[in-house]
Amino acid sequence: MHIIPAIDIIDGKCVRLTQGDYAQKKVYNENPVEVAKEFEAAGLTRLHLVDLDGAKASRIVNHKVLEAIALQTNLWIDFGGGLKSDADVKIAFESGAKQITGGTVAVKNPELFLGWLEEYGADRIILGADVKDGNIAVSGWQEQSNTNLFTFLCGYVEKNVENVICTDISKDGLLQGSAISLYEEILKRFPGLKLIASGGVTSLEEIEKLREIGCFGAIVGKAIYEERLRLGDLVTG
Query: What is the b/e burial string over 48-68, where b = at least 16 CB atoms within 10 angstroms of the residue's CB?
Result: bbbbbbbbbebbbbbbebbbb
Distance, in Å, from the CA atom of 66 to the CA atom of 51, rounded to the nearest integer, reads: 9
SS3 65: helix
Angle at CA 119, nearest 5°, toward 5 and 158? 80
* Contact criterion met (CB below 8 Å) for 134 and 148: yes
Q: Distances from the Cα of 50 to the Cαs of 21, 57, 97, 99, 154, in angstroms?
A: 14, 13, 11, 12, 25
Nearest Cα residue to 233 out of 209, 201, 203, 195:
203
Active-site choice (53, 78, 88, 130): 130
Which residues contact residue 21 at a Cβ distance below 8 angstroms, ignoring those fewer than 6 apart?
none
For 190, which DSSP code? Answer: -
Beta bridge partners of 48: 6, 78
Active-site choice (8, 53, 78, 168): 8
Active site residue 8: yes
Distance, in Å, from the CA atom of 126 to the CA atom of 151, rounded to the nearest integer, reads: 17
Q: Which residues are designated catalytic?
A: 8, 130
